[in-house]
């Protein structure tokens, strides 16, 4: 705002062009000047590679190979095998995201101070995020399998007589979501927590508040907006579970998530309109969950937390 550069029209403006300089000047006062051309590549990119495919897919989903414009949507909701993928996905993603966020809070609360090895802990936590779901799936198959180390330890401790079945079902996928999602949630919660000014809690302690009161009345309300954002981002990660649902899950039954349904429609039946319809339903459900959480977020305090941010 403060820097309004002279536009070329102004520099070269002879007497015949005062009207043109005028509207350019007026626009420049509102912040529209030739610097905005710098946005063009990014806008072009987002329109061509994100908005156009999105609306193309939306249009395609209303032009099914047979039937009226809504028949692909009707087909999805009419078929129980397809419709249930919504509940399967939510049944995996919601508990996993919730567990990741809830478990992060006490651990981050404990670790927000300075202690030796804090950097090491955060670095170790970044490892599963960078490795990604495909490698985690491969590791889980080895580790949690019937002859894997986890079952061996349980048997050696006499906690169980025969190996527990933990892969190729719901739990395998759930564990893979926790292994990649928990560090993600933890690091975000930790950064939100360290943005809260510690003197606020010390003031409460001076006034005689115990640790639970300090956490409940001071820290938690300030942390709530951050927790809502963390939940959203963790949920997005968990909602798009695809590789682990195929590899450590049971992709034909228990863990047939909605992304598998979309993938099968597109790449096994080559029915692009139907696949687009499923993708649209998937996006809509995800946005509804996020909108609910973000709406709840507006009801919390969202001002400055007094810390370094």
Residues 149-178 that bind another protein (CB under 8 A): 149-150, 152
Other CB atoms within a 10 A radius of the CB of residue 298 amount to: 9
Candidates 7, 191, 250, 264; binder of another protein (CB under 8 A) is 191
Instruction: Among 92, 97, 282, 289, indicate the residue that binds another protein (CB under 8 A).
Output: 282
SS3 of 65-112: the string is CCCCCCHHHHHHHHCHHHHHHHHHHHHHHHHHHHHHHHHHHHHHHHHC
Are 50 and 258 a contacting pair, CB within 8 Å?
Answer: no
In terms of CB distance, is 18 or 38 closer to another protein?
38
- CB of 213 vs another protein, minimal distance in Å: 13
* 42 makes contact with another protein (CB under 8 A): yes
**Residues ≥6 apart with Cβ < 8 Å to 23:** none
Count of residues in contact with another protein, rule CB under 8 A: 105
What token pair was written down for 257? 């998530």
Rule CB under 8 A: which of 87-126 touch another protein?
Answer: 103, 106-107, 109-110, 112-116, 119, 121-126
Apex 222 CA angle, 128 and 111, nearest 5:
40
Torsion angle of C-alpha atoms 181, 183, 184, 190, degrees rounded to 10? 140
* Nearest-angstrom CA–CA distance, 194 and 186: 12
User: Which neighbouring-strand residues pair with 306?
Assistant: 196
Within 11-40, which residues bind another protein (CB under 8 A)? 30-32, 34-36, 38-39
Among 239, 249, 255, 271, binds another protein (CB under 8 A): 239
Q: Which is nearer to another protein, 95 or 148 (CB)?
A: 148
Judged by CB under 8 A, the residue of 166, 196, 223, 247 near another protein is 247
Among 133, 218, 222, 228, binds another protein (CB under 8 A): 133
Q: Does 208 bind another protein (CB under 8 A)?
A: no
């Amino acid at each position: 705002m403060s820097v309004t550069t002279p536009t070329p029209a102004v520099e070269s403006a002879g007497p015949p062009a005062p009207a043109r300089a005028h509207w350019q000047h007026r626009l420049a006062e509102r912040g529209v000047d030739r610097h905005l051309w710098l946005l063009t590549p990014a806008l072009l990119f987002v329109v061509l590679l994100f908005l156009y495919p999105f609306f193309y897919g939306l249009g395609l989903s209303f032009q099914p190979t047979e039937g009226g414009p809504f028949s692909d949507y009707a087909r999805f909701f009419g078929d129980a095998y397809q419709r249930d993928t919504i509940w399967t996905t939510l049944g995996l993603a919601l508990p996993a995201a919730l567990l990741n966020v809830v478990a992060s809070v006490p651990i981050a609360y404990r670790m927000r101070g300075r202690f030796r090895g804090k950097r090491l802990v955060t670095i170790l936590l970044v490892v599963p995020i960078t490795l990604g779901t495909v490698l985690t799936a491969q590791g889980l198959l080895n580790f949690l399998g019937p002859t894997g180390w986890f079952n061996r330890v349980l048997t050696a401790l006499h906690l169980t007589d025969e190996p527990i079945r933990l892969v190729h079902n719901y739990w395998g996928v759930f564990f893979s979501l926790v292994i990649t999602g928990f560090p993600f949630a933890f690091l975000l919660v930790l950064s939100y927590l360290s943005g809260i000014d510690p003197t606020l809690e010390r003031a409460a302690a001076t006034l005689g508040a115990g640790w639970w009161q300090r956490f409940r009345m001071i820290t938690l309300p300030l942390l709530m907006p951050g927790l809502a954002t963390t939940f959203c981002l963790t949920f997005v990660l968990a909602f798009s579970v695809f590789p682990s649902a195929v590899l450590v899950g049971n992709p034909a039954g228990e863990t047939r998530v909605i992304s598998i349904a979309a993938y099968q429609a597109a790449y096994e039946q080559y029915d692009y309109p139907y696949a687009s319809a499923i993708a649209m339903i998937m996006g809509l459900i995800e946005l509804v969950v996020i909108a609910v959480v973000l709406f709840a977020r507006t009801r919390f305090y969202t001002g400055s937390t007094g810390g370094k941010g």
